[in-house]
Each structure stands twice: as C-alpha cells, then as structure tokens.
Amino acid sequence: MRELSRGINPTATASSGTSLWWVHGLMIACTLLVAGSFPVGALIADSLPADCLMMIRFLIATGLFAPFIFLKHGFQLPHPKKLLGYALLSIPLVIFFWCMFEALKYTTAVNTGALFTTVPAMTAVFTLIINGERSSARKVIGLTLGTLGAAWIVFEGSITTAITLDLNRGDWIFTLGAISLSLYNPLIKRVHSGEPTEVMTFWVILFGALWLLLLSFPSLSQIEWRNIPVETYGGLFYLALFTTLISFFLLQFSTIRIGATKVAAYSFLNPVFVLVLATALEMTKFTINFIPGIILVFAAMLFIQTEKPKKKYP
C-alpha cells in the first residue's frame, strides 16, 4: 500500500508482462469488495431514498479521504481545467447509481444483473472511440465468452428464462446507466495527466457527492433522521470505505496501468463472487447449473488478461 500511495509512474509497468500481475490482484480485491456490497446494500436499501443513501455514502467517503489528502499533498486547489475534468468524470458514476436504484422500482435484480454484463463490451467500444485502444480478436472472444458466462450465471443456466427476458421501463433506465458506466473507465485516462491517483480519486468522489446532494436536496427535509436505524449508518460506512473510496482508487489506479477494457472485464467476476457469497450466507443454493457459466467467465478472463500490451502505455 505504501507503494501505491507514492504514485507509481503509469508507464513504468507496461513494458514487462509479469510486473503487471500485482495490478490484476488489486482488481480481484476490488471486485470482491464490490460483490460484498450487495448483501449490505440489501439490508439498508429501505431505510432511505436511494439518492440520499448515495449522497451520504459519497460524503462519508470524502470525509474519510480528506485528511489523508490534505496531510500528504496539502490543501492545493487543482487548476480549473483539472477541476472541470474531475467534475465531468464523476457524472457517469452519479448517473449509473441513480439509474440503478431508479430502475429497481420497475424491474427485477435478475434483469439488471443480466444487463450489467454488457458493460465490459460497451467499455471496449467507448475505449476505441475515446482512446483509440483497439480490441484484438483475442479480446473480442474473451468479451463474448465473459458476457455469455455471466448471463448464464444470472439466468441459472435456464435458456427459457433468458429467452423470455422482456425489456420494461426499468430495464431501459438501467441500460442508460450501464452505458454511462461504460464511459467512466475510458474517460479516466483522458482526465489523468500524471497527478497521484489518490488526488484524482478524492476530487471525483467529492464532485460525485456534490452532484448527489443537488439530486437529493428536495427530499432531505422530508426525512425523519432520528428514526434512521444505527445499522443503516454502519452499512453506509462500510459502503463508503470499501466499495466507494477503496474500490474507486483501485479502479482508477489499475485503469491507468492495464487499460480500461481489461479493468472492465473484471465485471464478469461479479456474478461469480456474488454467487459464492450468497451461497455462504445461505441466500441461494449452488447447483451444477452454474458451473458452465463459471467456466466461461474464467476462460474469458484468461483470454483478456493474458493478452500482452502492444504499446508502452496501455
């Protein structure tokens, strides 16, 4: 972690293949943290409106991160152009979170889970458009296998369930959120210009909190804050620290070094990790129907993550 806080030169690790595997280890940890947020989120989802939950989550993350940033780097306001970049970079995240919770008013978690598996493929398209990073045939095969494998897990191997998937209002809302999230990873490399990753993370989270504050402001006065359970704040603290602050830092840190498509491909592991956690917590029952999907997901990760970069800067 000490090495991370020093801000490694993003061009330094791209030249040697094996030196990048520790970055992939960080992304596995990041994916585990995100997967762990699902049971926590389920416990507190009914306590507050979704936009208020996300606003508090981002504010807590900003408050936790601020002392570290100010002590290490001092209170230095970035150049207005950089602030604009951070503000714009935070918008896709805010849109995704809002769309996700708004969509769940009209659709099911199964449908949104299926649609979420399209994020890596859409990220590859936006990476080509924004950064000029082309996907090789190997990467395209990996993205296809990963999408099929994740969808297999979501639908529990039932072809009938997959075929009968009807897109309703909530599905279209979530699709807009997924498209927005797909823009996030490619934009990181456009905004980043050599500053320490933790500095960029702090300002992106801060602007995200401000956008969410504006979004949730009309409903804040209607909430009876004294009646909010203590468990809700504990859950928000967990989400703020592990699945907002730490995961955003790891996401941005890794994107700069291994590229947006490889980072986004770890989304394929989300259904696998959620399945493992749900089975351990006895929230679902593991059956052999899941195994083909798991095999496809790991085959996809092997295809995508073992591809050697063609450029010094990924």
Report pLDDT digits (tens) over 110-130.
667 777 778 888 988 898 888
Mean pLDDT, the chain, whole residue set:
81
Write out the two tokens for 255. Answer: 């994107």
Per-residue pLDDT at 8: 42
pLDDT tens sequence across 246-268:
887 888 888 888 887 788 888 88
Above pLDDT 90, what percent of the chain? 13
What is the rounded CA–CA span in Å between residue 259 and residue 255?
Answer: 5
pLDDT tens sequence across 31-64:
888 877 767 776 777 788 878 888 988 899 899 8
Provide the pLDDT confidence category of residue 166 given band limits of 50, 70 and 90. Answer: low
What is the rounded CA–CA span in Å between residue 208 and residue 92?
Answer: 9
What is the rounded CA–CA span in Å between residue 227 and residue 87?
Answer: 33
Burial tier of 125 (Cβ tally within 10 Å: 0-12, 13-18, 19+): middle
pLDDT at residue 2 tops 50: no
More confident residue, 265 or 133: 265
What is the rounded CA–CA span in Å between residue 123 and residue 52?
Answer: 28
Per-residue pLDDT at 179: 94
Rounded to 10 degrees, the C-alpha dihedral 44/50/54/60 comes to -50
What is the rounded CA–CA span in Å between residue 200 and residue 196?
Answer: 7
Per-residue pLDDT at 3: 43
Q: What mean pLDDT is predicted for residues 92-114? A: 78
Per-residue pLDDT at 207: 96
Per-residue pLDDT at 110: 63
Per-residue pLDDT at 309: 60
C-beta contacts of 63-70 below 8 A and 24+ residues apart: 64/240, 64/241, 64/245, 65/198, 65/201, 65/202, 65/205, 65/245, 66/202, 68/198, 69/198, 69/199, 69/202
What is the rounded CA–CA span in Å between residue 47 and residue 229?
Answer: 8
Per-residue pLDDT at 281: 72
pLDDT at residue 138 tops 60: yes
More confident residue, 50 or 1: 50
Please give the distance of CA 106 from its chain centroid, rounded to a whole number.
22
Provide the pLDDT confidence category of residue 283 given band limits of 50, 70 and 90. Answer: low
pLDDT at residue 15 tops 70: no
pLDDT at residue 176 tops 90: yes
Lowest model confidence (mean pLDDT) among 212-221, 230-239, 243-252, 272-281: 272-281
Residues 6+ apart with CB under 8 A from 148: 293, 296
pLDDT tens sequence across 192-220:
888 888 888 899 999 999 999 998 888 88
More confident residue, 133 or 62: 62
Per-residue pLDDT at 301: 84
pLDDT at residue 304 tops 80: yes
Is residue 146 a contact partner of residue 300, using CB atoms and an 8 Å limit? yes
pLDDT at residue 180 tops 90: yes
pLDDT at residue 69 tops 50: yes
pLDDT at residue 164 tops 80: no
Helices and strands (H, E) in the chain, number of each type: 15, 0
Provide the pLDDT confidence category of residue 92 given band limits of 50, 70 and 90. Answer: very high
Q: What's the CA angle centered on 138, arms 136 and 140, to 5 degrees?
A: 70
Highest mean pLDDT, choosing among 27-31, 103-107, 304-308: 27-31
